[in-house]
């Protein structure tokens, strides 16, 4: 949904992303790839320095650009800044929490004129039109596809407040946490963790604000009467029920409970393999989605010759994610394409495997692909993070940093150092002991390596064709840091070759 940013902000965000993904990219290269003049670039770079602080955009004498991010921050800070300073997103957050009777009060709160506010609303409505969402007036509020609206704000708050300090009242957070405790024991054990609980709490908070404003999604009731009675009894015994109903001014009925937990309590989400086979698979659309995932994974396993040790478990996890988002048309992010960005770091992923996977995804999961291509990156992310052998295969596609060892001590010392370096840097490096007769021979052989490590001061008469580091016999912390910088720099450079 980054189309909700104005044209100028989208251009500046893309500029920051280009520098982040391509450290050392030059002003001329940026000008060529972004179709901007050097003056436009200099203007944008100058403008961005203040709002992005403490992140800095550094331009050196060679006109190379680098994004300097403090260790306590990440690239997420950039997206937070753009969301925080966008009038459209400030407007959307304002009308999420309050419905305004007229434009005057809302314009005053946002410190803009009514004319500017009306233009922002008209622009947002054009962007939302494909998703059946619209900002209405009198009162000023968001209406339309409630599933899309709730998903939008769920994604928005995760990006706007990446430190999880969401702008809800503490009492709301506490009440929601108690309700989540009642539900979360139903989830598989691997879902009973901080991340799952945090996402569930946010979804509940968003849903309850919408429910309080009488925005109710269409809900397909999949519970039997017996199950509804059991749920009603469970809710009646919930110790926080009275406090919950008093604060939110909502009756905690089975119907409300089903709406609040609709991402799990529906006819598509399977709590286990047996739940899928006994209940979920009865729906032809569910079977089609599950079978599509199964075929993509099976075909990738065959084509790449990679085993899948827990096929049914892997397929069910991916199926559940795709089924949960089956009704959405918006992207699974607002500005930060977090699932896509880690693929863009590696050209090998793009060329060697990504296209191959995309073809299978489009072929076996056409309904998902046609709805929103952004979910391909979600699918690929799930493969990488849930299929260890697939991830290992991808790692091997990136050439390691080639390290040459040449010490003025014995071979056994170099053998020890080789093993130590491999322990420290793993598959990021290959280490070769150089069996040379003279120091001068280093000049010729150095070109075959990305880094030469020696334990003496290199004579000025021996020039090398690559970088080198002189270390002590037992690596100090400083030595490890210097080698680590070169190895990481070279490894990520190799990812983009």
Q: Hey, what are 141's tokens?
A: 């509020």
For residues 18 and 63, state if they share a domain.
yes
Displacement of CA 34 from its chain's centroid (Å): 24
Rounded to whole angstroms, the Cα distance separating 58 from 44 reads 13
- Terminal Cα-to-Cα distance of the chain (whole angstroms): 31
pLDDT: which is higher, 418 or 272: 418
pLDDT mean over 161-187: 85
Cβ proximity of 447 and 440 under 8 Å: no
Q: What single DSSP character describes residue 140?
A: B
Is residue 143 domain-shared with residue 250, that is, in the same domain? yes
In a domain, 3, yes or no: no
Domain membership flag for residue 419? yes
Q: Per residue in 425-442, pLDDT tens?
A: 988 899 999 998 899 999
Same domain, 208 and 228: yes
Q: How many residues does the chain have?
A: 497
Final residue of a domain: which of 395, 427, 446? Answer: 395
Using CA atoms, how far apart are residues 481 and 172, in angstroms rounded to an integer? Answer: 46
Residues 242 and 121 in one domain: yes
The domain that holds 453 is classified in CATH as 3.40.50.2300
Low-confidence winner among 124-128, 132-136, 234-238, 340-344 (lowest mean pLDDT): 340-344
- Number of domains present in the structure of the chain: 4
pLDDT band at 329; cut points 50, 70, 90:
confident
Give the residue among 377, 369, 374 at the shortest CA–CA distance from 1.
374
Q: Please give the distance of CA 404 from its chain centroid, rounded to a whole number.
A: 37
Q: Once rounded to an integer, what is the mean pLDDT over residues 72-87?
A: 91
**pLDDT above 90 covers what percent of the chain?**
42
Task: Tell me, yes or no, whether 290 and 249 share the same domain.
Answer: no
In a domain, 242, yes or no: yes
266 in a structural domain: no
According to the model, what pLDDT value does residue 351 have? 65
Q: What is the pLDDT of residue 224?
A: 67
Look at residue 219 in the predicted model and tell me its pLDDT: 64
Dist CA 49 CA 55 (whole Å): 8
- What pLDDT shows up at residue 239? 85
Instruction: Give the CATH number, domain containing residue 33.
Output: 1.10.10.10
Q: Does residue 2 sit within a domain?
A: no
What are 207's two structure tokens? 């849903």
Considering only residues 219 and 168, tell me which one the structure prediction assigns the higher pLDDT.
168
Grade residue 188 by pLDDT with cuts at 50, 70 and 90.
Answer: low
Strand partners, 140: 100
pLDDT, residue 235, reads 84
Residues 185 and 113 in one domain: yes
User: Within this chain, do residues 103 and 135 fall inside the same structural domain, yes or no?
Assistant: yes
The pLDDT, as a whole number, for residue 217 is 83
- % of the chain residues with pLDDT over 70: 94
482 neighbors 454 (Cβ within 8 angstroms): no
Residue 220 has pLDDT above 70, yes or no: no
Q: What is the pLDDT of residue 346?
A: 57
Q: Say which residue the tokens 């926080």 belong to.
A: 240
Per-residue pLDDT, 230: 79
Q: What is the 3-state secondary structure (H, E, C) of 81-101?
A: HHHHHCHHHHHHHHHHHCCEC
Question: Which of residues 221 and 44 earns the better pLDDT score?
Answer: 44
Place of tokens 């300073």: 85
- Domain holding 171, by residue range, is 84-260
Residue 488 C-beta-side C-alpha neighbours within 13 Å: 8
Q: Are 317 and 276 in contact (CB under 8 A)?
A: no
Kindly state whether residue 438 falls inside one of the protein's structural domains.
yes
Average pLDDT, the chain: 87
Question: At which of 395, 419, 434 does a domain end?
Answer: 395
Nearest C-alpha neighbor of 205 from the set 164, 144, 246: 164
pLDDT of residue 336: 85
Residues 201, 96 share a domain: yes
Q: What is the pTM of this model?
A: 0.81
Q: Two tokens at 241?
A: 């029920």
* E strand or H helix at 395: helix 388-395
Spatial CA neighbour of 322 closest among 375, 273, 386, 267: 375
Task: Give the lowest-confidence range in 18-27, 180-189, 264-273.
Answer: 180-189
Decide the pairing of beta strands 133-136 and 141-144: antiparallel
Residues 88 and 223 in one domain: yes
> CA 431 to CA 421: how far, in whole Å?
8
Cα–Cα distance for residue pair 392/285, rounded to 1 Å: 33
Task: Note whether 220 and 116 are same-domain residues.
Answer: yes
DSSP collapsed to 3 states, 298-367: HHHHHHHCCCCCCHHHHHHHHHHHHHHCCCCCCCCCCCCCHHHHHHHCCHHHHHHHHHHHHHHHHHHCHH
Look at residues 395, 430, 450 and tell me which one is the last residue of a structural domain: 395
Q: Which of 9-18, 290-299, 333-342, 463-472 has the lowest mean pLDDT?
A: 333-342
Q: Check residue 142 and give its pLDDT.
A: 92
In a shared domain, residues 103 and 245: yes
Say if 113 falls within a structural domain. yes
Task: Give, in degrees to the nearest 5, the angle at Cα 250 between 249 and 254.
Answer: 165
CA–CA dist 247, 138 (Å, integer): 26
Q: Is residue 1 part of a domain?
A: no
Query: Within this chain, do residues 230 and 256 fall inside the same structural domain, yes or no?
Result: yes
* pLDDT at residue 445, rounded to an integer: 92
């Amino acid at each position: 949904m980054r189309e909700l940013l104005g044209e100028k902000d989208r251009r500046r965000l893309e500029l920051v992303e280009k520098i982040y993904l391509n450290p050392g990219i030059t002003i001329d290269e940026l000008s060529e790839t972004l179709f901007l003049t050097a003056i436009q670039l200099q203007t944008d770079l100058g403008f961005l320095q203040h709002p992005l602080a403490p992140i800095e955009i550094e331009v050196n004498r060679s006109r190379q650009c680098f994004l300097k991010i403090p260790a306590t921050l990440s690239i997420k800070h950039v997206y937070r800044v753009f969301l925080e300073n966008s009038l459209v997103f400030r407007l959307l957050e304002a009308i999420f929490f309050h419905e305004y009777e007229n434009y005057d009060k809302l314009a005053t709160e946002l410190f803009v004129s009514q004319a500017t506010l009306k233009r922002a609303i008209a622009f947002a409505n054009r962007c939302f039109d494909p998703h059946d969402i619209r900002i209405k007036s009198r009162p000023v509020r968001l209406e339309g596809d409630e599933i899309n609206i709730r998903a939008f704000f769920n994604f928005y708050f995760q990006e706007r407040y990446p430190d999880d300090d969401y702008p809800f009242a503490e009492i709301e957070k506490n009440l929601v946490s108690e309700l989540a405790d009642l539900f979360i024991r139903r989830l598989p054990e691997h879902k009973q963790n901080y991340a799952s609980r945090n996402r569930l709490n946010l979804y509940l908070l968003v849903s309850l604000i919408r429910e309080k404003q009488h925005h109710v999604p269409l809900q397909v009731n999949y519970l039997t009467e017996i199950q509804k009675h059991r749920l009603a009894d469970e809710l009646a015994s919930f110790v926080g029920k009275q406090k919950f109903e008093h604060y939110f001014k909502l009756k905690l009925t089975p119907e409300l409970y089903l709406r609040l937990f609709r991402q799990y309590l529906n006819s598509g989400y399977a709590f286990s393999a047996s739940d899928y086979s006994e209940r979920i698979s009865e729906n032809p659309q569910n079977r089609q989605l599950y079978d599509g995932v199964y075929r993509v994974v099976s075909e990738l396993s065959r084509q790449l010759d990679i085993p899948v040790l827990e096929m049914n478990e892997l397929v069910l996890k991916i199926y559940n994610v795709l089924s949960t988002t089956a009704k959405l048309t918006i992207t699974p992010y607002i500005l930060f394409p977090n699932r896509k960005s880690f693929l863009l770091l590696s050209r090998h992923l793009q060329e060697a495997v990504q296209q191959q996977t995309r073809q299978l995804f489009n072929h076996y999961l056409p309904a998902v692909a046609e709805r929103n291509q952004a979910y391909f990156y979600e699918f690929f992310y799930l493969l990488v993070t849930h299929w260890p052998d697939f991830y290992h295969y991808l790692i091997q596609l990136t050439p390691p940093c080639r390290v040459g060892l040449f010490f003025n001590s014995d071979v056994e010392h170099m053998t020890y150092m080789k093993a130590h370096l491999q322990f420290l840097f793993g598959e990021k490096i290959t280490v070769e002991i150089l069996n040379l007769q003279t120091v001068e021979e280093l000049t010729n052989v150095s070109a075959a390596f990305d880094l030469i490590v020696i334990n003496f001061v290199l004579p000025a008469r021996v020039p090398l064709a690559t970088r080198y580091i002189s270390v002590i016999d037992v690596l100090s912390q400083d030595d490890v840091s210097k080698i680590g910088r070169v190895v990481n720099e070279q490894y990520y450079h190799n990812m983009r070759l």
